[in-house]
Structure 1
Amino acid sequence: MSAHSAQRSLTTRTVAHVAERVYIHDSYVVTFGPDETSTNLWILSDDGRALEHLKALKTLEEPGGIAPIVDVERKLVAITRRSSGPPELHICDIDSGDLMRTLMLYGSLDDVPMPYSSRLGRALVATRVVDELPRVLVVDVAGNGWIEGVAYIPPDLRTSTDDRPDPLFGAEHITDDGDIICSYVAPPLPDGVDHFTLMRWTGTPNENTLPAVRADLPISLVDGDAVSVSCCLPFRDDALLVSACEAAQDGIDTAYSRWSVLRAIGIRALDPLWTAEPVWGVIRRLHHAVDAGVVIANGTQNAREDAGKSIPVSFIAAFDDQTGALRRLERVNYIVQGVSVRLCAATSDTVIVVFANGDVSITALDDFLANGLARDVNTHKVMTTRLWKGHGKQVVHAAIAASSVIVATQTNLVVASW
């Protein structure tokens, strides 16, 4: 074994329940099962070791990859539902589990988070309508309203959708003052793009409201001609963390065909406060570990060198939260490890990797920053602890809390705490 970071000890508890997806918000846990009658709400104990079932929520279909909104203060959960008709937002009462109301939306929804202001009780929902440009809805989740406003692509950026791909128009953040921040990427044809744009609307927008601020952020990848915003996270009171994936759109997906550029962006002027060193691959999750002074980014990469077989790799990067300087970068290679990664995430003091077979790596953040992940000196495999005895059981989905991780298998939920 490597002399690197030691593994944290784990305590596990098992709950007999079948879930296909798990989401955690504070101490609340929402699970979606394999059918329309198994949307459940749970609560974690203060120490993160026990999972108590609260309610079976009276909602319908599992919402794909869209995380539910949990408003702890108002005791409500908002869940998207997809069907053959328009998408819906189902709002349930936490105490009773009852469906309080249903908001009809329109178009189709991307599998991306719905930014939410708990102060205002409003969410942003990115939607697409056939033969129309995408837009962002401002939805009244906690009140008695419906669609309070709509952010549209400014007229000078609108292009015909008849013979060109749709532009990208993403809902990134709603401030507690009601300002709306969206991202825009022009259609990639015919010559590709060389930047993406952030926009801020002051207050609730409508069809004729122009953004108060626009900022163009350039692509830095050599030969890069495509870009998308992969994730966004509120950062302090006056800034956002924005990760943009830059790529060569016609190139083969290899270790060096796409990278991610993380920026800290001031909310008022949309100006970069710092720009981090690019990391190869796509950043998919961000966490700000305030006490450690770092931003933890987790993502994926294809490590192949040419058109051969794909080599899935997960990575964990730590950036200084004042300067964006890269402090640690660790990769977990599927070929080396022999098993795929189901979850790669961080809390305020811990870095967690969950593998498909139930192996987990739990590393104190300080140890991770100093030494990386603990690895076998001969095989270079990440050192792990198995959550259960025997083989055959697989991890279906997993989510992270402050001091535990909840793993869904084909037959139960496993709560692993440290």
Structure 2
Amino acid sequence: MKHIKTDLRAEQIHLSYPYLFTFSEEATNIYEIRSSSPHHIATLSQNIEGYFREGSIIIDPSRDALIVVCNSVMVFNLHDGQLQKNLGLFGTLTDTPIRYDRGRVLVTLSDDEEQDGEEKEYFWILSCNPFDLELPGYSFLTQIQRASTEKNMLYSHVLPSREGGVVVAQHTSYTDQPMKLHYWSPEGQPYDESLPPAYTVDIPMTLEDGSSIEARDAVPIDETTFALCTVEMVLDCLDSPGSHQSVIRVVSLPALDTLWSSDPIVGEAKHIYHVPGEDIVLIIGVVSEREDPKGDSADYATWIAAFDTQSGERRQFTKLNHRKIGKRLVGCRLTATVTEKGDIVPSDEPDIVFLTSIGDVATFSLSKFLTEGLPSDDFAPLEKSSLSSGLQLKDIGRRTLDRRVCISQGSTAVVDDESLISIFTW
């Protein structure tokens, strides 16, 4: 493994190997990593500031495009940073992940409006195609009106289907009610609020005393199935072993039938991957192992679980308690790459990458994890592939992780506590 500490500064980064994007108050820059070093390609013709939601920075090499979703959908040339198109968005982006599928950007917007003395909130499931030759390039999938009495009800994209439809999750916090999963077919667009989804199913809450169930993430398996990860929570309580649990399901399109469902995993899922070469669904999450319900320490552990794609059988599991291994893990991801069409998929022969708060970076082969396992609460098997950089990453919290740590194919980029960028390659 090779470590290069650059003199580049940034507040936020995004890495889609070989492209590295840096965001600061002064400029937004595109670099290409060559021989472990960043080489400057271009500065964006319009600087972009602010926090970017999950999925809001999109690379599509087949269209020579960098797409950034903030208050608008902005399309820049990848080779020279020139702005090509800017589609304004009405309303406010919700906190749900932004999805991308072969030129389509799917966003969830909301807005408040008062009617007859009652405040109502509207949700728009919106598809933007910034590559359309004719403006505006919008397609409404649905518009949902929500009364003020439903203020804890939220909608989010789960998955764009390959034929042009969309799967949407609807959940209500502070209730033990099931999450609803909707499928809108592509026929008849643009839609309006009068057109119901083609299919709707309930996803049950299974956590005792649970008060919210939400779709954390989903990944396509093939043209007609996808893996869905839900997280069930007890709200308004300290993180503890019983406050979160995660369930993996494989669901078919268009009817949203559940083909298999895993036993609950104690803890909160953070990332989900489908790895076709190993025929598995991989989940990475965290759990609080707090023994004293009133104690100050949440005593977090990182866990990794692998399930057979066809049967749902759990093929491997491990858990690394940060206190027991003597290192706080600030990042754990599977290496990924961007296809020519802009899809983010696991890299060939992927590695699981671990990053600690004192700058240790370790890799562990996914195939080795599946065949040999990884002992729980033991960092020793990772020491052979670990590089101790001495970087200080103690200020990286769970909320800022995605801004400062990016893991891609054979490389990791990190913004340390001094705002300097380091690059690790192997």
Query: TM-score band, normalised by the shorter chain?
Result: 0.7 to 0.9
Q: CA deviation at 1:411?
A: 4.7
1:127 corresponding residue in structure 2: 109
1:313/1:334 contact within 8 Å kept:
yes
Q: 1:59 aligns with which of 24, 30, 47?
A: 47
Corresponding residue for residue 415 of structure 1? 423
Q: Which residue of 1 aligns with 2:281?
A: 295
- C-alpha separation between the residues in 1 aligned to 2:138 and 2:195? 13
RMSD: 2.7
CA distance in 2, matches of 1:277, 1:129: 38
Query: Offset at 1:99?
Result: 1.5
Distance 1:98 1:394, change over 3 A: farther
> Aligned partners of 1:330, 1:62: CA distance in 2, in Å?
36
Aligned to 1:184: 170
**Aligned partners of 2:247 and 2:263 also within 8 Å:** yes
Contact 1:165 1:188 in 2 (8 A): no
What residue ranges of structure 2 are gaps of 5+ in the alignment? 113-119, 336-348, 397-403
1:151 aligns with 2:141: yes
Conserved in 2, the CA contact under 8 Å of 1:230 and 1:282?
no
* Aligned amino acid, residue 99 of structure 1: L
Q: 1:325 aligns with which of 313, 327, 339?
A: 313
Secondary structure, counterpart of 2:140 in structure 1: strand
Given that residues 271 and 284 in structure 2 are in contact (C-alpha distance below 8 angstroms), is that contact kept between their aligned partners in structure 1? Answer: yes
| Shift in alpha-carbon separation, 1:385–1:78, aligned structure 2, 3 A | same
In the TM superposition, what are the counterparts of 1:337-348 in structure 2 within 5 Å?
A: 337-347=325-335, 348=349
CA contact (8 A) 2:53 2:98 kept: no
Paired residue type of 2:60: D
Partner of 2:346: none
TM-score (norm 1): 0.84
Is this contact kept in 2: 1:374–1:382, CA < 8 A?
no
Q: Indicate the SS of the match to 1:79.
A: strand
Distance 1:263 1:358, change over 3 A: same
Task: Indicate if the aligned counterparts of 1:16 and 1:413 stay in contact, CA closer than 8 A.
Answer: yes
Deviation at 1:197, TM superposition (A): 2.2
Aligned to 2:73: 89
1:150 Cα deviation from its structure 2 partner: 2.5
Q: Does the aligned pair in 1 maintain the 2:41–2:80 contact within 8 Å?
A: no
Change (3 A) 1:160 1:393: closer
Paired residue secondary structure (2:147): coil
Q: SS of the counterpart of 2:9?
A: coil
- Distance across 1 between alignment mates of 2:6 and 2:170: 43
TM-score (norm 2): 0.82
Give me the whole-angstrom Cα distance separating, in 1, the residues matched to 2:388 and 2:394: 11
How does 1:355-366 map onto structure 2 within 5 Å? 355-366=356-367
In structure 2, distance between residues paired with 1:303 and 1:205: 48
Paired residues, number = 390
Whole-Å separation in 1 of the counterparts to 2:370 and 2:163: 36
1:105 CA displacement: 0.9
Instruction: Please say if residues 68 and 77 of structure 1, whose CA atoms lie closer than 8 Å, have aligned partners that are also in contact.
Output: yes
Equivalent of 1:242, from 202, 211, 228?
228
Equivalence for 2:115: none
Q: Deviations over 1:141-162 (max 9, x none)?
A: 22243352223366xxx6522x
State how far apart, in whole Å, the 2-side matches of 1:412 and 1:201 are.
46
Cα shift at 1:133: 3.1
Task: Report how far residue 391 of structure 1 moved.
Answer: 6.0
Matched position secondary structure for 1:317: strand
- Paired AA for residue 367 in structure 2: D
* Of 402-411 and 315-324, the range deviating more from structure 2: 402-411
Change (3 A) 1:393 1:258: closer
2: CA distance, partners of 1:393 / 1:275: 37
Q: Which residue of 2 aligns with 1:260?
A: 246
- Name which of 398, 403, 406 aligns with 1:399: 406
- Would the alpha carbon gap of residues 188 and 380 (structure 1) be closer, same or farther in structure 2, given more than 3 Å must change? same
Higher alpha-carbon deviation: 62-71 or 379-388: 379-388
Is residue 308–residue 314 contact of structure 2 (8 Å, CA) maintained in 1? yes
Query: CA deviation digits over 1:307-334, x for unaligned, max 9?
Result: 3222222222111122222222222223
Partner of residue 28, structure 2: 39
TM-fit CA distance, 1:228:
0.6
User: What is the match of residue 7 of structure 1?
Assistant: none
After superposition, the C-alpha distances for 1:24-80 in whole angstroms (9 at most, x for unaligned) are 3353332323x1x332222344xx844332112223213333331112111111112
Select which of 250, 262, 278 maps to 2:264: 278
1:363 & 1:381 partners in 2: Cα distance? 9
SS in 2 for 1:368: helix
Task: Tell me, yes or no, if structure 1 residue 100 matches structure 2 residue 88.
Answer: no
**What letter is aligned with 1:280?**
V
The DSSP-based 3-state class of the residue aligned with 2:121 is: coil
Q: Counting strand residues as a fraction of each chain, which structure ranks higher?
A: 2
Query: 1:263-282: CA deviations, max 9, x gaps?
Result: 11112221112212221112
Match of 2:98 among 114, 126, 135: 114
2:3 — aligned with what? 12
Corresponding residue for residue 166 of structure 1: 152
Change (3 A) 1:281 1:375: closer
Q: Which amino acid aligns with 1:80?
A: V
Judge conservation of contact 2:359–2:392 (CA < 8 Å) in 1.
no
Structure 2 Cα separation of the partners of residues 414 and 374 of structure 1: 29
The separation in 2 between residues aligned to 1:417 and 1:375, in whole angstroms, is: 26
Checking the alignment, whether the CA contact within 8 Å between 2:30 and 2:43 is kept in structure 1 is: yes
